[in-house]
Amino acid sequence: MRASTLIVCVLTGVLFGFGLAYSAMVKPEVVLSFLRFQDFGLLFVLGAAVVVTGTTYRFLPRLLARPVLGGGFCSHPSQMTRQTLGGAALFGIGWGLSGVCPGPAIAGLGVGNWPLLAAIAGMFAGAYLQGFLASAQSRPIPGDAR
C-alpha cells in the first residue's frame, strides 16, 4: 500500500470516528433511545449520511475521470439472497438489543467507552463463525463426483 493511500485512509477514518463521536452514535444508550422512538436526533445524522453517500456515488464518477488514489470506479453488484436477508435480520436484532454498530463501537473506544469491548468481541466471534460456516458450505463433499 502506498504511503499516500495509507495517510488518506487514516485521515478519513479519523474524520468518520470524530463524526460518530460528535453525533453521540458511540453511546449505546443514545442509539437505543432512537430505536425506541424517544429521541430522533440520530435521524438527522442518518439522513445526512444517506444524502452525502447517495450524492457522492451518483455524481463523483461524473466529475472525476478516475478516483483520487488511482484505480477505477466500478459498480458493486449484489444479489438479494436468503443469506443476505438472514444476515441483515441478525445484524438488526443485534443492533436493536445492544445499541451497538461496528463503526461506532470502534470509535467509542476512542472516547473511552471500554464496555464496548464486549460488543466488539461478539462481532469478531460472529464474523469468525460466519466465515467458518461459509467455508464449510463451499468445501467439496468427499466422494462427491460432481
How many other C-beta atoms lie within 10 A of the C-beta of residue 27? 19
pTM exceeds cut of 0.85? no
Dump pLDDT digits (tens) for 78-126. 788 888 898 889 888 888 888 888 888 888 888 888 988 998 998 899 8
Per-domain residue ranges for the chain?
A: 3-138
Q: What count of residues does the chain have?
A: 146
Distance CA 102, CA 13 (A): 13
